[in-house]
Structure 1
């Protein structure tokens, strides 16, 4: 098949399955790159159509595409959409009923699947790894979806992310000579440091890089100081009332925050619900459906909500608490205004001293203290570990063992021989975590006097994308 026939075949598949006549740039180039077997790093804004870029090549290839994704809710949404289109996709995670798990493993054995969605932890679990290592199972691609999580969560929250770099070489050892597995990492947000981390950790080989900036001219960015906890709730209610029933999202930091705020809003007469990673799949599905079909105007949610959920007419996103990291912020505000119509992203913050409302300061302090203590315990623990070992044995012996290994890897003091065995380099000297810098960036954004979009684009490596006069529609530009 020549290039033009191949292009027609790809577009025909797009039309047949998704109903689109043609691709949005740069979807077509990304798909051709993945089909050619080249590694890739893809940065596309939320709502830019990332999923099609790896789902379509998977359907056109002969083997299996493994999709590593961080959240069960996100995995379930994508697989449900694919199955509704009668496509050979499945998922595996720890909450899955036994019969569903058995059925998926059978399909895997019979090579009936084109797409298999897993969390990093499930991918590296022994029973799944053994099946994926079967010589007869052809694997075309390894896709890392929401790849910023590798940098955002991978050191301390999800240490399994740090072990993904040796997955390709370990799998290829069990495959026929000449087999190849391409790796593609997808994310909506990655600053230059995160891009570097993704490439290094995944050991990408001369990747094709596709970068689109996150700027949306229809999205108005606003930050408002609130003076007391009561004032914060009043501002929230006043803002929701001003939206006259339009769909939106309220973001908070923790499960407890989501439950207590949702309860308070229901007492004020609003139909809403708390959404967080601790809910059952059925409950998450019910809340998503109520919000998607308009029965619920807004959801009070943690960062667990929104990844992979497509609702074009979200008119507003309010951060009742600001996120800790800019990458989270850009992800979450990007859920508003996907249809191109005017939308608002408002963040509520305490007054700078924290005297009247110390919550924001306490949250940041808690995060920093937790990071410091994890680094200190990792440094102490490293002295007790054998120079060579196995991650599961370390995790069994020490409660924070896996986190310690992950921190040593991020400090370039440890090498993974394969996803399960490590070698520690000597001497061990851990530097302060990079995340502190990212947290400072977020607080600088909230207090900046310059155009907010300009600040964001500069942080994400797109400083030339806006005129020096600013965007003209954030609260800073409007003041000037």
Structure 2
């Protein structure tokens, strides 16, 4: 570390106004300043952005922050600008003028932090700039890195190519150049941690694991028997939480719009939020929710990442998420101020006869996944043993996803971010479905568990608690008598 630690602390106090770091912020910052790789699992609201923003600001050179959502990038850059700091973002919705301005700022080495998506990082125009020998890159940060395992195979295949980025950049830089990689997330079980380290090719990373346990966060699962009963259960829960701020998570854009319309008919100040909205609409809803003009948003998983609002008192999962990592991310957006907060997840009765929504939705996602995997099986024999991503995308509509699936199974490696080499042509359905089935089964086990809900979550994420551990706040510990009316 070239810069004195007292100078780092002074910069921290001057910019953010805090007297000292929260554990383990200081240790993470030291690690990044020392140029070491890191995997950081820090619960929502743990102050992770400071962990990589501060090292970027006290060093010379560019820190690249890879982020999954435009809304998340916009929030982070907006906060930087409010602090009077140097930061920019690149994404597909930018005007040509703004894009050119940012690219010029990179060329002239006037930026400390650059936020972008995996797809933008892997775009040829940007790559031609950042791979130039004179462009100094000090670090690559993967924010919300759990998206790599959740989306990397079938939805955002660019994530599977990120491990080749540092390796390729260093070939173009002066000898002795170091580029540290740090991966940040609020949720990663041991299996996910291993996959992140392997895919990103982290070198002897320092690992920081902080328990996601929040004693002020009360967890409840409720079975509903009809679609009408689902609405009534949500309404009863919101009424019990009076006029407090909250979020209601649904699993589709259409659901967010239909449910928001129903709540508006009951004179609630709500908005539907999903990835289909343009940037200005999303920003308006976020600001109105943060300011309290909107009591709650009916939203898909696109909402919440990176938004800092301490007084969220309730979270409703109108539909249960497919993955336990999504669940803990989303409930973790409540009660950041350490005051009591309540969460409710609504699930269909076991048969699905009277309220088939959950079963239908789960089957739809399963069919979609199966079709993608079958397409990969059909396509693998047609793909050349070596090739480049641009040609494959041109020739085969499902080619990029197939390459991502093969990479996830160890049947393919990336020579650089744009060129691959196959290791084997053998691909079985068993290989493809095994991992996904494990995670879906885990979520179902959580919904049906008879033990303390927090104990189940902590064990799922690799935190061993004492046998007699009970949170005392969840529906299992309280015998279902959690706040409802």
Identify the TM-score tier after normalising by the shorter chain: over 0.9
Aligned position for 1:459: 460
Distance in 1 of aligned mates of 2:4 and 2:251:
47
2:333 aligned counterpart, secondary structure: coil
Q: Deviations over 1:317-343 (max 9, x none)?
A: 000001110000000000000011011
Aligned position for 1:438: 439
After TM superposition, the structure 1 stretch with the greater mean CA deviation from structure 2, 326-335 or 394-403, is 394-403
Structure 2: give runs of 5+ residues left out of the alignment. 481-485
Aligned position for 1:49: 47
Q: Structure 1 residue 374 and structure 2 residue 375: aligned?
A: no
Aligned position for 1:473: 473
Distance in 2 of aligned mates of 1:324 and 1:65:
33
Aligned position for 1:386: 384
Aligned position for 2:79: 81
Distance in 2 of aligned mates of 1:144 and 1:91:
14
1:47 aligned counterpart, secondary structure: coil
The number of aligned residues is 477
Task: Report the Cα offset of residue 271 of structure 1.
Answer: 1.1
Distance in 1 of aligned mates of 2:102 and 2:469:
55
Distance in 2 of aligned mates of 1:467 and 1:127:
55
Aligned position for 1:356: 354
Task: Report the Cα offset of residue 391 of structure 1.
Answer: 1.1
Change in 2 beyond 3 A, CA 1:136/1:92: same
Aligned position for 1:131: 129
Distance in 1 of aligned mates of 2:166 and 2:421:
19
The 5 A counterparts of 1:312-351 are: 312-351=310-349
Please point out which of 403, 406, 410 is paired with 2:404.
Answer: 406
Change in 2 beyond 3 A, CA 1:405/1:249: same
Q: Structure 1 residue 36 and structure 2 residue 34: aligned?
A: yes
Distance in 2 of aligned mates of 1:266 and 1:98:
38
Check conservation: 2:455, 2:469, Cα contact below 8 A. Answer: no
The 5 A counterparts of 1:209-248 are: 209-248=207-246
Task: Report the Cα offset of residue 467 of structure 1.
Answer: 5.4
Task: Report the Cα offset of residue 427 of structure 1.
Answer: 3.5
Task: Report the Cα offset of residue 94 of structure 1.
Answer: 0.5
Please point out which of 258, 281, 292 is paired with 1:260.
Answer: 258
Q: Deviations over 1:300-358 (max 9, x none)?
A: 10011000000001001000001110000000000000011011111000001101011
Task: Report the Cα offset of residue 6 of structure 1.
Answer: 2.1
2:372 aligned counterpart, secondary structure: helix
TM-score by length of 1: 0.98
Distance in 1 of aligned mates of 2:282 and 2:407:
34
Check conservation: 2:219, 2:342, Cα contact below 8 A. Answer: yes
TM-score by length of 2: 0.97
2:39 aligned counterpart, secondary structure: strand
Check conservation: 1:34, 1:182, Cα contact below 8 A. Answer: yes
Task: Report the Cα offset of residue 469 of structure 1.
Answer: 4.1
The 5 A counterparts of 1:181-200 are: 181-200=179-198
What is the aligned-residue RMSD (CA, Å)? 1.2
Task: Report the Cα offset of residue 432 of structure 1.
Answer: 2.8
Q: Deviations over 1:16-39 (max 9, x none)?
A: 111111000000000000000000
Distance in 2 of aligned mates of 1:436 and 1:363:
15
Distance in 2 of aligned mates of 1:355 and 1:127:
53
Please point out which of 303, 309, 329 is paired with 2:307.
Answer: 309
Check conservation: 1:368, 1:436, Cα contact below 8 A. Answer: no
Distance in 1 of aligned mates of 2:35 and 2:323:
33
Q: Deviations over 1:235-267 (max 9, x none)?
A: 111111111100000000111111111111111
Q: Structure 1 residue 64 and structure 2 residue 65: aligned?
A: no
2:432 aligned counterpart, secondary structure: coil
1:273 aligned counterpart, secondary structure: strand
Check conservation: 1:93, 1:118, Cα contact below 8 A. Answer: yes
2:367 aligned counterpart, secondary structure: helix
Distance in 2 of aligned mates of 1:414 and 1:271:
50
Q: Deviations over 1:74-96 (max 9, x none)?
A: 00000010011111100000110
Please point out which of 130, 148, 151 is paired with 2:149.
Answer: 151
Task: Report the Cα offset of residue 102 of structure 1.
Answer: 1.3
Q: Deviations over 1:337-384 (max 9, x none)?
A: 001101111100000110101110111111112112211110110110
Aligned position for 2:279: 281
Check conservation: 2:246, 2:312, Cα contact below 8 A. Answer: yes
Q: Deviations over 1:274-309 (max 9, x none)?
A: 111111111111000000001111001001100000
Distance in 1 of aligned mates of 2:176 and 2:374:
44
Check conservation: 2:211, 2:463, Cα contact below 8 A. Answer: yes
- Could you list the structure 1 runs, at least 4 aligned residues long, displaced by more than 3 angstroms after superposition: none
Distance in 2 of aligned mates of 1:413 and 1:332:
34
After TM superposition, the structure 1 stretch with the greater mean CA deviation from structure 2, 262-271 or 189-198, is 262-271
1:384 aligned counterpart, secondary structure: coil
